[in-house]
RNA sequence: GAGUCAUUAGCUCAGUUGGUUUAGAGCGCUGCCUUGACAGGGCAGAGGUCACUGGUUCGAGUCCAGUAUGACUCACCA
């Protein structure tokens, strides 16, 4: 045999990817066809391919490849985002390892290093996507910080500022002391941890008594400016209007009363640190309290803290505790579970901090975006994500978009004294400024030091990748895009904001549909993550099972929105599937054609049956794709190819060993096989392209990737049902062979008790020939009653049997028949009950009633057949 | 605290406006099969009172209510 009996994916996959690239199949330009466009959710430029990416991008590739085969102008735009915090952290770390401190560099010098890093490592993930088979239009690769995208970001900022949607304000923010930047609420992840509740004595100013407060963060007492109690708390009534001394710093602060305090919690008394807690900040504002900022930007104690200056906050906590013990003010340390927020990017514990930042007034923008989803103008799959979306949109908060970093688009705001001038360029800002201060020079204006949040770039992505802020030809053609494929975990961070931006700048939605993928989890249902180390190496998987195998594995078990419990076994199943297809090819290719051989009649039936079946598969695939039931569609294809094509069809038409095949069957089989390749190509592009290349002939000029998706032809349900009957008889014969140790290839005679089905079988030469071939019979005969020493089975409603040379175990056979009889009797009773119900017969649709009648008739026929068998067996006891 | 979703075979899941031979698939399991496309294989088989309790209906895995268990999201948490 020339070709290997095992399919080796690695040898074949790179060959075809190169071939597709060389032919420019992935590239799209606007033309007269209808567009089908997808923008990739841009992975972090720092990222490497993980399971989530594989799932997400496989799905996009499936949709794009299918659209391409359907004759649409398919365009899948790839790219990466600049991930300001993550990238800056990586670059800072790299520099530190080289002995360079960020603080020793100018902004420009630092950015040079960062771009250098990006050029060197930033394309890794895109290269990995190619291994997966992603048919992205690489000529369109975009980056959120390249010139076109940056221009859009700046334009959007200026536009919003001019519309009064932006403002700058001092607010309590989530501060990442490691990255030394602000984070938006969405970038903070809360996790319950075991901490302590410290009970601390605060002495009254006159020393006569004390209040005990409870806190999880004793170190913040350095910044306390009050103690709060509930106005109705009887225990503390005598403290109203008094003052206490804050331990360690010995500051006298008021006891305030406020019903914010929960009497039940802790000791009922609360220390108030307005600079370092969001609720305390509100209390402070309400009661006019002093705001003492005791932390530096890196989380160490500032001069204002007076004690432990320069110590890190966690070290300070220990030091404060020790001091309190020494001062005998620590009453108790109670173990306590509570939530602690950490930075999504650096994992540092987030510090609430007062800070001046830029905000987007989201309430001014949300209305059209909320309406679009409510009305299904933008459709969500699965639908219930609408609820989540609505909840967030209705309760939307302002979006903090400035970040204290260098890697990103610098805020285009220019300051002179207390004035701010916002413009796309420094010159523009100067012109504006000069209207107020005519003598102002460029160097008098100072640009904002901060950059914009990466999501402020990403939310423009569907517009900016098509250069949409310049009314390009591309945006006219490709926008709105067809579908967005992403994880539900970024519905707020990204999806919602893109819809908002779409309406704001393009007057319409950015994508017609959103398909939310599930989360990839491990066998223990844990989310796959780097820190847990439970994520398999994506490229190693591709190495092991082939990209097609991995794509199959990811997709075969991933309903929209549902979790996917990843198991390598699924990829193995995928690889085995490629092997099965490969061997089907070997079989078909190995058939010698004898051009003057006539076609066996059963092959005509086989071809008609499989053609009709193929059409019904095409129909159901279309429907499943419409509903984004991609996993189900794949399972259907799997059993269509493996069971229907390989196990049944090929066995039906296969010539006996050593014999040649007729030309008509061979050509038709090759044609059907090519159709399989086309249908399966979106899921498993490499094997199908390879097989297609072997099945090609002079009349076929295209590659599988561009092969036209088959158009639905008429389905003949009758031929499918009738073939199913033959198949069930064949299985029945095989079962009898199994049970009675008759060799699969020992010829035998099959008898059928006369009825309309068996008569049909014996009279229709095609059916009879097919049954004879598949069951390995030498004859099929009709009789009117069972013969001596026979074993039987029932298929459909009819009874079949074979005669045995050897004696059978009658008791065993009897037990089996009786069990089956019992089942049938139960079945009949159920149907009879239904039919006996007058209201059913009157109310149910005619077809349903008719079907019940047929069920009953078939059931009764089976029962009769079984009873006869039992009687016959008993007579032999 | 508010909300969303789930509960079907040993495991992972389908089951599409309530009716399609008293529930399907894959994996796993059991038995048999090896010169023949494929052991990364073939054939066959066993395995489920559809979480529980009520209700609506001629008819419920499917619709409604309640209960239990689990998962997730948002908010709060000194």
Q: Residue A629: inside a domain, yes or no?
A: yes
Judged by C1' against the alpha carbon of A837, the nearest nucleotide is B58
Q: Find the Å distance, CA of residue A852 to C1' of nucleotide B61.
A: 20
- Residue range A245-275, pLDDT digits in tens: 999 999 999 999 998 888 888 888 999 999 9
Nearest residue to A271 via CA among A285, A248, A254: A254
Q: Nearest CA to the C1' of B19 belongs to which residue? A: A848
Mean pLDDT computed over A175-184: 91
Name the token pair of A304: 């204002």
Residue partners of A39: CB distance under 8 A and separation at least 6: A76, A77, A79, A461, A462, A465, A481, A484, A511
CATH code of the domain in which A330 resides: 3.90.740.10
Q: Is A547 exposed, middle or buried (0-12, 13-18, 19+ CB in 10 A)?
A: buried
Q: Find the Å distance, CA of residue A636 to C1' of nucleotide B16.
A: 15
Helix, strand, coil content of chain A in percent (nearest 5)? 50, 20, 30
Q: Cβ(A201)–Cβ(A244) under 8 Å?
A: no
Q: Which of A673, A697, A715 is the last residue of a domain?
A: A715
Q: Are residues A267 and A310 in the same domain?
A: yes
Between CA A837 and CA A829 the distance in angstroms is 12
Q: Cβ(A726)–Cβ(A774) under 8 Å?
A: yes
A720 touches strand B (CB under 7 A): no
Between CA A231 and CA A236 the distance in angstroms is 8
A797 touches strand B (CB under 7 A): yes
Q: Are residues A553 and A631 in the same domain?
A: yes
pLDDT confidence of A554, banded at 50, 70, 90?
very high
Q: Find the Å distance, CA of residue A526 to C1' of nucleotide B54.
A: 37
Q: Find the Å distance, CA of residue A355 to C1' of nucleotide B73.
A: 29
Question: Which of A461-470, A676-685, A714-723 comes out lowest in average pLDDT?
Answer: A714-723
Inform me whether the pLDDT recorded for A829 exceeds 90. no
Q: Are residues A709 and A754 in the same domain?
A: no
A388 touches strand B (CB under 7 A): yes
Beta bridge partners of A764: none
As a residue count, chain A comes to 877
Q: Nearest CA to the C1' of B13 belongs to which residue? A: A557
Residues lying close to strand B (Cβ under 7 A), chosen from 8-27 of chain A, are 8
Judged by C1' against the alpha carbon of A565, the nearest nucleotide is B12
Q: Are residues A650 and A757 in the same domain?
A: no
Q: Nearest CA to the C1' of B2 belongs to which residue? A: A391
Name the token pair of A375: 């009305």
Q: Find the Å distance, CA of residue A379 to C1' of nucleotide B57.
A: 33
Q: Find the Å distance, CA of residue A854 to C1' of nucleotide B53.
A: 36
Mean pLDDT computed over A755-763: 94
pLDDT confidence of A1, banded at 50, 70, 90?
very low
Strand B, nucleotides < 7 Å from a protein CB: these are 3-5, 12-16, 19-22, 25-27, 31-33, 36-45, 58-59, 71, 73-78
A190 touches strand B (CB under 7 A): yes
pLDDT confidence of residue A195:
86
Q: Which of A321, A352, A383 is the last residue of a domain?
A: A352
Q: Residue A17: inside a domain, yes or no?
A: no
CA A438 to chain centre: 56
pLDDT confidence of residue A536:
86
Indicate the helix (H) or strand (E) that contains A228: strand A226-229
Q: Find the Å distance, CA of residue A536 to C1' of nucleotide B28.
A: 22
Q: Residue A92: inside a domain, yes or no?
A: no
Q: Is A93 exposed, middle or buried (0-12, 13-18, 19+ CB in 10 A)?
A: exposed
Q: Are residues A682 and A554 in the same domain?
A: yes
pLDDT confidence of residue A336:
86
Q: Find the Å distance, CA of residue A627 to C1' of nucleotide B22.
A: 31
Residue partners of A791: CB distance under 8 A and separation at least 6: A736, A739, A740, A801, A802, A804, A808, A813
Cα torsion A94, A100, A104, A108: sign: negative
Judged by C1' against the alpha carbon of A578, the nearest nucleotide is B40
Q: How far is CA A30 from CA A34, A74, A329, A469, A506, in A?
A: 9, 10, 75, 18, 19
Judged by C1' against the alpha carbon of A830, the nearest nucleotide is B22
Q: What is the mean pLDDT of chain A?
A: 92
Name the token pair of A648: 């049944």
pLDDT confidence of residue A2:
58
Residues lying close to strand B (Cβ under 7 A), chosen from 575-594 of chain A, are 575-576, 578-580, 582-584, 586-587, 590
Name the token pair of A735: 């079962």
- Residue range A205-236, pLDDT digits in tens: 988 999 999 999 999 999 999 999 998 888 99
Q: Residue A777: inside a domain, yes or no?
A: yes
Q: Find the Å distance, CA of residue A738 to C1' of nucleotide B31.
A: 9
Name the token pair of A134: 């992603």
Q: Nearest CA to the C1' of B31 belongs to which residue? A: A738
Between CA A568 and CA A538 the distance in angstroms is 11
Mean pLDDT computed over A270-288: 91
Mean pLDDT computed over A587-613: 95
Residues lying close to strand B (Cβ under 7 A), chosen from 410-469 of chain A, are none
A569 touches strand B (CB under 7 A): yes
pLDDT confidence of residue A563:
81
Beta bridge partners of A341: A190
Q: Are residues A219 and A345 in the same domain?
A: yes
SS3 label, residue A141 = coil
**Half-sphere exposure of residue A47, counting CA atoms within 13 Å on the CB side?**
24
A616 touches strand B (CB under 7 A): no
Residue partners of A8: CB distance under 8 A and separation at least 6: none
Main-chain dihedrals φ then ψ at residue A377, nearest 5 degrees: -65, -40
Inform me whether the pLDDT recorded for A452 exceeds 80. yes
Q: Find the Å distance, CA of residue A831 to C1' of nucleotide B53.
A: 27
DSSP letters, A322-363, are HHHHHTT-EEEEEEEEEEEEEETTT-PBPEEEEEEEEEE-GG
A210 touches strand B (CB under 7 A): no
A619 touches strand B (CB under 7 A): no
Q: Residue A139: inside a domain, yes or no?
A: no
Residues lying close to strand B (Cβ under 7 A), chosen from 241-270 of chain A, are 261-262, 265-266, 268-270
Judged by C1' against the alpha carbon of A839, the nearest nucleotide is B58
Between CA A70 and CA A121 the distance in angstroms is 36
A684 touches strand B (CB under 7 A): no
- Residue range A428-448, pLDDT digits in tens: 999 999 999 999 999 999 999
CATH code of the domain in which A859 resides: 1.10.287.380
Q: Is A142 exposed, middle or buried (0-12, 13-18, 19+ CB in 10 A)?
A: buried
Q: Find the Å distance, CA of residue A836 to C1' of nucleotide B47.
A: 33
Q: Residue A407: inside a domain, yes or no?
A: no
Mean pLDDT computed over A176-197: 87
Q: Find the Å distance, CA of residue A558 to C1' of nucleotide B51.
A: 24
Q: Which of A715, A739, A764 is the last residue of a domain?
A: A715
Between CA A571 and CA A543 the distance in angstroms is 11
**The residue to which tokens 């106005």 are assigned:** A231
Name the token pair of A549: 């195998």
- Residue range A101-138, pLDDT digits in tens: 999 999 999 999 999 999 999 889 999 999 999 999 99
Q: Are residues A701 and A591 in the same domain?
A: yes
pLDDT confidence of A811, banded at 50, 70, 90?
confident
A857 touches strand B (CB under 7 A): no
Q: Are residues A758 and A676 in the same domain?
A: no
Q: Residue A675: inside a domain, yes or no?
A: yes
Q: Cβ(A566)–Cβ(A55) under 8 Å?
A: no
Quote the DSSP letter at residue A146: S
Residues spanned by the domain of A556: 546-715
Q: Are residues A700 and A765 in the same domain?
A: no
A349 touches strand B (CB under 7 A): no
* % pLDDT > 70, chain A: 100
Number of domains, chain A: 3
Helices A663-680 and A601-626, axial angle in degrees (round to 10)? 10
- Looking at this predicted complex, what is its ipTM? 0.95
Beta bridge partners of A360: A166, A399
CATH code of the domain in which A553 resides: 1.10.730.10
A195 touches strand B (CB under 7 A): no
Q: Residue A7: inside a domain, yes or no?
A: no
Q: Cβ(A510)–Cβ(A499) under 8 Å?
A: yes
pLDDT confidence of residue A346:
86
- Residue range A86-98, pLDDT digits in tens: 999 999 999 999 9
Q: Find the Å distance, CA of residue A394 to C1' of nucleotide B2.
A: 14
pLDDT confidence of residue A833:
85
Q: Find the Å distance, CA of residue A633 to C1' of nucleotide B8.
A: 21
Mean pLDDT computed over A150-176: 95
A851 touches strand B (CB under 7 A): yes
Inform me whether the pLDDT recorded for A329 exceeds 90. yes
A219 touches strand B (CB under 7 A): no
A721 touches strand B (CB under 7 A): no
Q: Are residues A346 and A215 in the same domain?
A: yes
Q: Are residues A699 and A837 in the same domain?
A: no
Name the token pair of A606: 């086989």
Inform me whether the pLDDT recorded for A531 exceeds 60. yes
Q: Find the Å distance, CA of residue A70 to C1' of nucleotide B35.
A: 46
Q: Are residues A863 and A768 in the same domain?
A: yes
């Amino acid at each position: 045999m020339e070709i290997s009996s095992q399919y080796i994916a690695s040898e074949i996959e790179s060959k075809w990817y190169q071939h597709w690239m060389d032919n420019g199949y992935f590239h799209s330009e606007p033309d007269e066809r209808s567009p089908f466009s997808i923008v990739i959710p841009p992975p972090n430029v720092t990222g490497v391919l993980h399971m989530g990416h594989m799932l997400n991008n496989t799905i996009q590739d499936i949709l794009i490849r299918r659209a391409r085969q359907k004759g649409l102008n398919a365009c899948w735009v790839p790219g990466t985002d600049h991930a300001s915090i993550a990238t800056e952290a990586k670059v800072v770390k790299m520099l530190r390892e080289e002995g360079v401190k960020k603080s020793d560099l100018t902004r420009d010098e630092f950015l040079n290093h960062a771009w250098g890093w990006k050029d060197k490592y930033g394309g890794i993930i895109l290269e990995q996507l190619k291994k997966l088979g992603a048919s992205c239009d690489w000529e369109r690769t975009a980056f959120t910080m390249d010139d076109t995208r940056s221009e859009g970001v700046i334009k959007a900022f200026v536009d919003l500022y001019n519309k009064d949607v932006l403002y700058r304000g001092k607010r309590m923010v989530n501060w990442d002391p490691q990255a030394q930047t602000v984070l938006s609420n969405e970038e903070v992840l809360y996790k319950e941890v075991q901490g302590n509740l410290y009970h601390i004595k605060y002495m009254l100013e006159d020393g006569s008594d004390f209040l005990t407060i409870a806190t999880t963060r004793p170190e913040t007492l350095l910044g306390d400016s009050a103690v709060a109690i509930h106005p109705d708390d009887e225990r503390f009534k005598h403290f109203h209007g008094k003052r206490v001394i804050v331990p360690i710093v010995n500051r006298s602060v008021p006891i305030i009363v406020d019903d914010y305090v929960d009497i039940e919690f802790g000791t009922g008394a609360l220390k108030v640190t307005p600079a370092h807690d969001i609720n305390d900040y509100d209390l402070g504002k309400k009661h006019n309290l002093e705001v003492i900022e005791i932390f530096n930007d890196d989380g160490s104690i500032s001069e204002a803290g007076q004690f432990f200056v320069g110590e890190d906050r966690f070290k300070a906590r220990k030091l404060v505790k020790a001091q309190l013990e020494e001062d005998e003010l620590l009453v108790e340390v109670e173990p306590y579970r509570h939530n602690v927020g950490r930075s999504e990017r650096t994992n540092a514990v987030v510090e609430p901090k007062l800070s001046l930042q830029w905000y987007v007034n989201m309430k001014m923008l949300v209305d059209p975006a909320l309406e679009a989803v409510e009305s299904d103008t933008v459709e969500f799959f699965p639908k219930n994500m609408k609820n989540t979306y609505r909840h967030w949109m209705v309760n939307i908060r302002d979006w903090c978009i400035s970040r204290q970093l260098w890697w990103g688009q610098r805020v285009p705001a220019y300051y002179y004294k207390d004035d701010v001038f916002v413009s796309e360029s420094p010159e523009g800002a100067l012109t504006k400024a000069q209207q107020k201060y005519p003598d102002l020079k460029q160097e008098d204006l100072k640009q904002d030091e901060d950059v914009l949040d990466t999501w402020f770039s990403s939310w423009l992505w569907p517009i900016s990748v098509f250069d949409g802020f310049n009314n390009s030809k591309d945006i006219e053609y490709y926008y709105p895009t067809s579908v967005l494929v992403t994880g539900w975990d970024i519905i707020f961070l990204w999806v919602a904001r893109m819809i908002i931006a779409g309406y704001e700048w393009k007057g319409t939605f950015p994508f017609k549909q959103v398909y939310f993928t599930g989360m990839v989890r491990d066998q223990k249902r844990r989310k796959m993550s780097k820190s847990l180390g439970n994520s398999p190496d994506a490229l190693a998987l591709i190495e092991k099972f082939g990209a097609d195998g991995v794509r199959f594995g990811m997709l075969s078990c991933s309903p929209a929105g549902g979790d996917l419990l990843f198991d390598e076994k699924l990829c193995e199943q995928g690889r085995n599937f490629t092997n099965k297809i490969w061997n089907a090819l070997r079989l078909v290719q190995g058939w010698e054609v004898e051009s003057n051989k006539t076609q066996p009649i059963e092959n005509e039936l086989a071809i008609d049956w499989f053609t009709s079946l193929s059409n019904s598969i095409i129909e159901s695939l279309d429907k499943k794709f419409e509903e984004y039931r991609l996993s189900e569609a794949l399972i259907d294809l799997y059993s269509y190819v493996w069971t229907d094509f390989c196990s049944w069809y090929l066995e039906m038409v296969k010539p006996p060993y050593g014999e040649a095949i007729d030309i008509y069957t061979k050509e038709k089989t090759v044609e059907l096989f090519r159709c399989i390749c086309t249908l399966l190509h979106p899921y498993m592009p490499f094997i199908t392209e390879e097989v297609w290349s072997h099945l090609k002939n002079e009349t076929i000029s295209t590659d599988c990737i561009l092969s036209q998706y088959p158009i639905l032809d008429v389905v003949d349900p009758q031929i499918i049902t009738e073939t199913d009957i033959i198949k069930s008889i064949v299985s029945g014969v095989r079962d009898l062979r199994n049970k009675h140790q008759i060799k699969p290839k020992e010829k035998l005679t099959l008898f059928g008790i006369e009825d309309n089905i068996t008569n049909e079988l014996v009279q229709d030469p095609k059916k009879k020939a097919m049954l004879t071939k598949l069951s390995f019979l030498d004859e099929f005969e009709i009789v009117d009653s069972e013969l001596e020493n026979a074993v039987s089975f029932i298929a459909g409603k009819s009874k079949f049997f074979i005669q045995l040379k050897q004696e059978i175990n009658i008791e065993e056979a009897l037990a089996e028949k009786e069990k089956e009889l019992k089942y049938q009797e139960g079945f009949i009773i159920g149907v009879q009950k239904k039919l006996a119900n007058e209201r059913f017969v009157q109310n149910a649709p005619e077809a349903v009633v008719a079907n019940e009648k047929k069920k009953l008739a078939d059931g009764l026929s089976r029962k009769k057949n079984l009873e006869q068998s039992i009687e016959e067996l008993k007579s032999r006891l």
